[in-house]
Amino acid sequence: MSGPRVLLVEDDPAIAKSIIYTLERDGLAVTHSLLLCDARRQLSQHPPDVLILDVGLPDGSGLDLCKEVRAAGSLPVLMLSAHDEEIDRVLGLELGADDYLGKPFSPRELLARVRSMLRRARMPLPASRAIGGTSPFGIDLGGQRISLQGKPLPLTRREFGLLLDLLQHRGRIRSRDELLGAVWGSDSDSTDRTVDTHIKTLRAKLQEAAPEHDYIVTHRGMGYCVEI
C-alpha cells in the first residue's frame, strides 16, 4: 500500500482488527505490533507517519515507548488506554503524546484524529511574528523549539503550537475555539477539554522552568492569554 504509514501497537486482537480495517479501508498502510520489542524494531527499520500506541502491553508500558519516541523526534503519537481518567490522559500528554483516546472508542473517531494528525504534521510552519518588547521567550520555528530564560522547554508538538499561538497574540485572550483551530485544525474532532488538558501540562512545564512567574492566565468563560 502506498498511503501514509501507521504503526499500531495493540495487544487486543479484536480492537486491533477493527482499527486495521478502518484505517486500511481509508487508504492507510498499517503495520501491527503486539509487543513493545517488535514496535521498537519497526520504528527503527520502517519509520511510520503516525504511531498509535496502547498504554497497557504484555511486555511493558506504552508510556515508556512514547517517551522514547518523543525524545528522538516529532513523530505524531496517539495514545490508547482502557482508562479515560484525567490523570492517565495528562500523564500521556506530559510524556509527549499528541492525542489520547480512552477505550471504548469509535474507530471512525480514531480515523478522524489520525487524519488530523497527518494534516498537521504536513503543514508548513507559520511565519514568525515578532513578540515585541523584552521577552524571556525565544522561538526557533525551524526547530519547533521554544526556550524560556535561555533554557529549551520540553514541549510536545501540541504544547509548542499552543505556546507559539499565545505568544504571537501576547496580551490578547485566545478562546478555546481559536486555539483549537490554530493548533488542531478547523476540521479537528478535538474538544475544549483537549485544549484545557494541554494548557494544564504546558502551564506545569512553564512553572517548573520559572516558578516565580505564572505566564498563562485563565480568563474564565473566555479563554487563555500569555502575560509577560
Q: Tens digit of pLDDT for each residue in 19-73?
A: 999 999 999 999 999 999 999 999 999 999 999 999 889 999 998 999 898 878 7
Contact by Cβ (8 Å): 22, 107: yes
Q: Which fold has domain 137-226?
A: Arc Repressor Mutant, subunit A (1.10.10)
Residues 14, 44, 30, CA angle at the centre, nearest 5°? Answer: 30
Averaged over 10-24, what is the pLDDT? 95
| 8-state DSSP, 49 | S
- Residue 125 per-residue DSSP state: P
Q: How far apart are CA 190 and CA 183, in angstroms?
A: 10
C-alpha distance from residue 134 to each of 130, 131, 149, 152 (Å): 11, 8, 11, 18
Q: What is the mean pLDDT of the chain?
A: 85
What mean pLDDT do residues 132-153 have?
A: 82
User: pTM surpassing 0.85?
Assistant: no
The grid cell for 65 is: 515507548
State residue 155 phi and psi, 5-degree precision.
Answer: -95, 145
User: Can you give the pLDDT at residue 127?
Assistant: 46
- Give the burial class of 181: count Cβ atoms within 10 A of its Cβ; 0-12 exposed, 13-18 middle, 19 or more buried: middle
CA dist 157 → 11, 38, 42, 60, 171 (Å): 27, 25, 22, 25, 23
Angle in degrees, CA 14, 95, 207, rounded to 5: 145
Domain ranges of the chain: 5-122, 137-226
- CATH topology for 5-122 is Rossmann fold (3.40.50)
